[in-house]
Amino acid sequence: MQDRIVITGMGTVNPLGLSVRESWERVMAGISGVAPITSFDPTPLQVHIAAEVKNFDPAKSMDPKEARRRDRFEQFAIVSAREALTDSGLEVTEANAGRIGVIISSAIGGLHSLQEAILTNHTEGPRRVSPFLIPMLMANGGAGMAAIEFGIKGPCFSVASACASGADGIGTALMMLRTGMIDAALAGASESTITSTGVAAFDRVGAMSRRNDDYSMTPQPFDGNRDGRVMGEGAAVLVLEREADARKRGAKIHAELAGYGATADAFHVTAPHDKGEGGAAAIRMALSSARANPADVGYINAHGTGTALNDQSETRAVKAAFGDLAYKIPISSTKSMTGHMMGATGALEVIFCVLAIREGILPPTIHYETPDPECDLDYVPNKAREAKIALAISNAFGFGGHNAVLAVRTFV
């Protein structure tokens, strides 16, 4: 029997808080991180709102000079990884550095740095472009900079699968641990795309909320009056280890990372399959990987973006995977509070699944008022709910038809 893979550390920076504890408290209170954009003047755009990380000062967690040479998404990754390592108590040494992996993913990479460099090149010429631009914009920058920061010398890379990037990165780390390629991993994702170009581009896809003057009720996942997603930013990182290694060093174990499933819709570049076939297949794969049955699942953290196409497709995927059991499983979208952090959201939502299991309380889907006839499951509307659960799954579905599902189990 293969050794269980366990979660011993968690760290995050996101629109709700600068730590796991702060973020969880605000999720439980149903607090939204959505507000008017402050990082640039959004007046020329049709979208003026986002879920920005607030009060973030990277110089408090890293050398100020090095912070200036790192894109915002890389700063998020390092700070989150530091919290996760501290939480785990895992010490990186010369003896074990080559046996620890860093798989911190990003769907897009350093968009802040890229946009700034393009403007600089246009207005001031190529000699004014930063020599640090390439390491600041590359999608593997979060992983690479974290490895440098903590002296980790094992496999180090980023998975890019759109909004499934974080979940796929964690799933990849799970498989590497199971095969014995590494003994521990920093796994998660980081994203920061709230720039004028990023907001304009995602708005042109036609999936963004434009409730600029009345943003207190957006996004509205699974609600009949939804009007689209809200962009978020942030990072989330886990420390993963084999059970035997964690026990040997006396580590605190939060939960077991039990299973992973991944599929492709092969359907459309942005729209999910209307019947949710790929999502359902990924759910079944994750449960098989976890050696679990559909009846074992007590909670689903949904992808739940707040667009009709996603919400309805995901609801059909859950029904296809669980049959009649789908109506008995609580589902919530924490994106109703964090916004859509692109590749990083799937990693943060695994942390919320761990805490739901450990604390015995399920996050709500806030802003839920008007049922959508096509979305008729239990979405834990508006208020957190006490519930004793042993197994939770987290769905992450991305542009290009990427589907990734992770299963988290209580550790006893």
Would you state the structure tokens that stand for residue 356, as one six-digit string? 């739901």
Of the candidates 352, 239, 331, the one whose C-alpha atom is nearest the C-alpha of residue 279 is 331
Instruction: Give the count of beta carbons closer than 10 Å to the beta carbon of residue 268.
Output: 13
Distances (CA, A) of 196 to 147, 234, 317, 355: 30, 17, 34, 34
Nearest to 257 by CA among 335, 361, 350, 379: 350
Q: Which of 273, 303, 367, 402 is catalytic?
A: 303
367 is catalytic: no
Do 228 and 335 form a contact (C-beta atoms < 8 A)? no
Asked if 197 and 183 touch (Cβ cutoff 8 Å), the reply is: no
Cα separation, 176 vs 184, in Å, equals 9
Pairing state between β 299-301 and 234-242: unpaired
**CB atoms near residue 31 (< 10 Å):** 14
Catalytic residue at 268? no
How far apart are the C-alpha atoms of 114 and 97, rounded to whole Å?
Answer: 32
Exposure on the CB side of residue 304, measured as CA atoms within 13 A: 32
Pairwise CA distance, residues 402 & 163, whole Å:
8
Please indicate whether residue 340 is annotated as part of the active site.
yes
Catalytic residue among 48, 254, 273, 340: 340
Catalytic residue annotation: 163, 303, 340
